[in-house]
Amino acid sequence: MGGLSIWHWMVVLIVVMLLFGTGKVSNLMGEFGKGIKTFKQNIAADEPKEQDASMSAPGPLAAPLPEQTKTTVNQG
């Protein structure tokens, strides 16, 4: 009983339509859609840069392989 039912949303929608008119609401939704589209394009444009940077960045250095040491015998 704390949530809003479909009828509550219908009343809210009708009140918004009466206050702002249908033209204003459709323009607002169009601008909202353009904003989301631009946001998605910017996110998609940033992803390859992050991947390229991670590929060119040096990773953790591995320990060098121990060279084979020559054993010398002191003949003395």
Q: How many domains, in total, are found in the chain? A: 1
pLDDT at 47 over 80: no
In a domain, 37, yes or no: yes
Contact 15, 7 (CB under 8 A): no
Q: Residue 30: give the domain boundaries.
A: 22-56
In a domain, 68, yes or no: no
- HSE, CB side, 13 Å, CA atoms: give it for residue 6: 0
Higher-confidence position of 46 and 8 = 8
In a domain, 50, yes or no: yes
In a domain, 2, yes or no: no
Higher-confidence position of 12 and 76 = 12
In a domain, 3, yes or no: no
In a domain, 29, yes or no: yes
DSSP state of 57: S
In a domain, 31, yes or no: yes
Interval 49-62: pLDDT, tens:
555 555 555 555 66
The pTM assigned to this predicted structure is 0.40
In a domain, 72, yes or no: no
